[in-house]
Amino acid sequence: MRMADDAPRTWTVDDHLRDADPAHVELWHRVVALVEACGPVTVLAHQTTVTFAGERRGFAGARPTRHGVDGFLDLQRPLGPDRRIRRVSPYTKRLFVHQFRVTSADDLDDAFEGWVREAYAVGAGAHLR
């Protein structure tokens, strides 16, 4: 029998925002706005990040950190060099996980917005076609 004190911890978005630098929380909200502008998303809070899922799968995640906002985007292609992209790793034969860091609103330019739209398409199953 599991005791109430042994229950698994449930994470919330507020857990990720609490005690974060207010400027980084604002930047996180701007990233969320870019994601939500693509269409309906499900927001899932986990211990390590807040994940955004489309109708088929998760496609992005982000959280405020002491450096800005760190996150990931799942894309169907590896991106070329960009200072915001910290690492690109193959996830499957058709998907690449891009670890990013943004430090100011200027980082959320048209290119970044395009990457978010590409990732949203993955969440809708574009990689399965």
The pLDDT tens digits for 21-56 are 999 999 999 999 999 999 999 999 999 999 999 999
In this prediction, residue 11 has a pLDDT band, given cuts at 50, 70 and 90, of very high
| Three-class DSSP category at 103 | coil
Cα–Cα distance for residue pair 107/96, rounded to 1 Å:
21
Look at strands 85-90 and 96-102 and give their pairing.
Answer: antiparallel
Predicted pLDDT of residue 129:
81
Q: Which residues of 27-40 are buried (b: 16+ CB within 10 A; e: fewer)?
A: bbeebbebbeebee
Answer yes or no: is 17 within a domain. no
Domain count, the chain: 1
Answer yes or no: is 111 within a domain. yes
Answer yes or no: is 18 within a domain. no
Query: Averaged over 60-79, what is the pLDDT?
Result: 97
Answer yes or no: is 49 within a domain. yes
Answer yes or no: is 9 within a domain. no
% of the chain exceeding 90 in pLDDT: 90
% of the chain exceeding 70 in pLDDT: 95
Answer yes or no: is 3 within a domain. no
Answer yes or no: is 44 within a domain. yes
User: What's the domain range around 32?
Assistant: 24-128
In this prediction, residue 5 has a pLDDT band, given cuts at 50, 70 and 90, of low
Answer yes or no: is 5 within a domain. no
